[in-house]
Structure 1
């Protein structure tokens, strides 16, 4: 009986830690979210009207002579 309770507690904990994955965008380097984290930047919008948040290492480099 204790093993059953331990198993149920472990499953409950695992389900709380992994809520699901967000939709991917920007060649699978970005995630669709309502708000981006501090260093992430929005370049496009996802099909579900959320922002595509991209981390700095995957952001395109700006050309210095362009506006």
Structure 2
């Protein structure tokens, strides 16, 4: 019985720690992470206080005629 409870507890903890389950942000082009990859930049922050890492080609460009 103790082994069954220990197994259930371990499975419950492992189900909470799923690797690769990052939240999507910035029109589904970015991912919420603690640290961005080398070719990504931070444009906004996610609701969970992590950075929204977006590749530069998906970020809006500043138009030179608008101030």
Q: What band does the TM-score fall into relative to the shorter chain? A: 0.5 to 0.7
Pairwise CA RMSD: 1.9
Deviations 1:13-47 (A, max 9, x none): xxxxx823210000111000011112211111111
Q: Give TM-score, length-normalised by structure 1.
A: 0.62
1:53 aligns with 2:29: no
2:14 alignment partner in structure 1: none
- Take 1:42 and 1:20, find their aligned partners in 2: how far apart are those partners? 19
Ranges in structure 2 where 5+ consecutive residues have no aligned partner = 1-17
Give the TM-score of the pair, scaled to structure 2. Answer: 0.62
Aligned length: 50
